[in-house]
């Protein structure tokens, strides 16, 4: 923005705009609110914008306000025709017109969308960048079978990010693998609604269900199954016992055999248990992917 021929007040306005809007927008998402003291709708919208900006501060969102009466030059550069007018600014450029978003819910939805599309750098993003490789390390250790060390890793990560569902889910699964099912259940039960719906928490809950399979002698059930291959109750009990013994291949074979013979048996209990096994393993796990293909072949051929 050229300053030649401008008054001192106009140059100060431009410098202030550069300092309070353009420079912060290089890394943050700036909500730019054009308003005036005489504007009733502006006064209604202002506390909503302030609350949303405060709630999203750790995600790199800032609020800047331009009084069109005292900053006429800036308002004219943006060609403001009516107020309130609200823009989202990133790296010095408007990236969204937020003027028609007047409620907290509307604003949070559009901000969530923008923050997934733009490389905004806030405290939350910085923390996520630090935590991500640590979660990967915890998952690797857990995958190697060292539940105690994995639990220690996830516990330390949780001190950094206490509300991160991926961390909580990993910690719960480490507890389960270490034989602390009751502690894992208590951890999962204390979560709020938003956390409880996260895939990492669903995976941990599935792992808890799978770990609850009873380790019992199924000699009688094996005899029953030998006499009647359609004794699905016996086959299901055998699958549960194999799962409790850590033989997930045998458990999967038994469950898929039930699905192949009667997919609706006991309201789809075999398929439900099979899917819990896959979710507990992790949907990207090579074993889980292979087993899912086996299930698809049964259901869709």
Out of 13, 42, 88, 208, pick the active-site residue. Answer: 42
Respond yes or no: is residue 218 known to be catalytic: no
The catalytically annotated residue of 13, 39, 135, 153 is 39
- C-alpha 166/C-alpha 124 separation (Å) is 15
**H helix or E strand, kind and range, residue 66:** strand 61-67
For 246, the token pair is 């850590």
Helix segments in 90-246, DSSP class H: 104-117, 123-143, 147-160, 165-177, 181-189, 193-196, 199-211, 219-227, 232-244
How many angstroms separate the Cα of 141 from the Cα of each of 138, 150, 153, 197, 285? 5, 6, 9, 25, 15
- Long-range residue pairs from 126-130, CB within 8 A, at least 24 positions apart, any chain: 127/160, 127/161, 128/161, 130/160
Active site residue 42: yes
Structure tokens at 12: 């100060």
- What does the alpha-carbon distance between residue 191 and residue 47 come to, in Å, rounded to a whole number? 30
Q: How far apart are CA 266 and CA 204, in angstroms?
A: 25
Kindly report the number of other CB atoms within 10 A of residue 20's CB atom.
Answer: 16
Residues labelled as active-site residues: 39, 42
């Amino acid at each position: 923005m050229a300053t030649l021929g401008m008054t001192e007040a106009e140059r100060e306005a431009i410098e202030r705009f550069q300092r309070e809007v353009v420079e912060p927008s290089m890394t943050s998402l700036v909500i730019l609110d054009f308003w005036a003291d005489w504007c009733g709708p502006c006064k209604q919208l202002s506390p909503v914008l302030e609350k949303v900006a405060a709630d999203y501060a750790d995600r790199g969102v800032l609020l800047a306000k331009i009084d069109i009466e005292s900053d006429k030059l800036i308002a004219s550069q943006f060609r403001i025709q009516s107020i309130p007018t609200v823009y989202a600014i990133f790296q010095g450029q408007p990236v969204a017109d937020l003027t028609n978003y007047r409620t907290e819910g509307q604003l949070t939805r559009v901000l969530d969308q923008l923050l997934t599309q733009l490389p905004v750098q806030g405290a939350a993003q910085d923390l996520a960048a630090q935590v991500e490789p640590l979660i990967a390390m915890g998952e690797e250790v857990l995958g190697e079978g060292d539940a105690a060390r994995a639990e220690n890793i996830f516990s330390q990560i949780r001190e950094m990010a206490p509300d991160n569902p991926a961390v909580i889910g990993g910690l719960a699964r480490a507890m389960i693998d270490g034989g602390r099912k009751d502690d894992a259940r208590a951890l999962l039960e204390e979560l709020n609604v938003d956390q409880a719906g996260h895939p990492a928490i669903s995976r941990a809950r599935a792992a808890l269900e799978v770990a609850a399979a009873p380790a019992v002698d199924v000699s009688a059930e094996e005899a029953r199954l030998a006499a009647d291959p359609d004794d699905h109750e016996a086959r299901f009990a055998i699958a549960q016992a194999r799962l409790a013994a850590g033989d997930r291949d045998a458990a999967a074979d038994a469950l898929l055999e039930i699905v192949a013979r009667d997919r609706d048996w006991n309201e789809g209990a075999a398929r439900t248990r099979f899917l819990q096994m896959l979710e507990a393993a992790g949907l990207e796990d090579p074993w889980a992917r292979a087993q899912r293909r086996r299930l698809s072949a049964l259901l869709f051929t």
